A = this chain, B = another copy of it.
């Protein structure tokens, strides 16, 4: 590996020379800032990091990171990143994508990367709209949403990105929002640390086409009561401890701990448990439930490139290192002299 004075890297080192071109007030700025701030902590040289994105406002991200970067085509970033990681396990590979990019056109690659547990750090900027193409409904837009393409409201029920990721077998699933940079930074750290596919849904505000989509629960004064922070080993409580959650026959149930009207024991959160509880928690949604943020799942499982490398090693051990002359003359040969 290259000799770099990594400890001296600062946020600035991760800023490219390109002017940032999102709309003023776009949530993407907050995410970019947090990523650039967090990167130096990782102690990884800039040249060993690559950002791969698809197409969308969010996907302009790599241009602004002073690392290796690839702004690819719509929906394909996970597939391109898979090849990059498989051929270069030494790189840390990040994928930046939008709700349309990842879940609409790119849905197949998204689920396959997760099932294979390819070691990618996937940041999904979910603004529940197509930003770049100016305001069509996305697969996370709520049923009935009126958008440019659906003047009478969309008739397509949305995906829950956490559901989909868990259903695909994701080993790491977390959620945060652009309204809470401190929490986001913590989640970014966790993403960077995870071995295998790490999926982070970031609720991101598109000021132009879907302003305030998450405000009802991400606004500073709403967070405590409308969000539940999942924290490893801690009880599932929110609203200043006045409310809690438990699972009954697999389904979440709100506990009213203060008034005692709905008493019970809040569940102790375990992000390393089998997948069902994470799935159950991810069904929680406003207004009946608090919206979950934090780490829903973080389990160790065989990682794609590690399996691949150990398989190659095993084959080499068995067959000996490749020898072209030997290979060509293997099998039935005859000689004419």
Interface residues of A (CB under 8 A from B): 104-108, 111-112, 115-117, 139, 143, 152-153, 155-160, 163-169, 247, 249-252, 267, 273-277, 279-280, 283, 301-302, 304, 307-308, 311, 314-315
B112, A107: Cβ atoms closer than 8 Å: yes
Contact B112 A139 (CB under 8 A): yes
> A143 — which chain B residues lie within 8 A by C-beta?
302
Q: Are B115 and A155 in contact (CB under 8 A)?
A: no
Cβ contacts under 8 Å, A115 to chain B: 139, 156-159
Contact of A160 with B169 in the complex, beta carbons under 8 Å: yes
Between A116, A117, A164, A276, the greatest number of chain B beta carbons within 10 A of the residue's beta carbon is seen for A276
List the 10 closest A-B pairs by CB distance, nearest first.
A167-B167, A250-B277, A155-B307, A108-B108, A276-B280, A107-B108, A247-B250, A250-B276, A163-B167, A250-B280
Interface hub of A105, A166, A279 (most chain B Cβ within 10 A): A279
With A153-B311, A163-B275, A279-B279 already in contact, 5 other A-B pairs whose C-beta atoms are closer than 8 Å? A163-B168, A163-B169, A251-B273, A275-B283, A279-B280
* Chain B residues with CB under 8 A of A106: 108
Given A108-B107, A159-B168, A311-B155, also A249-B267 (CB < 8 A): yes
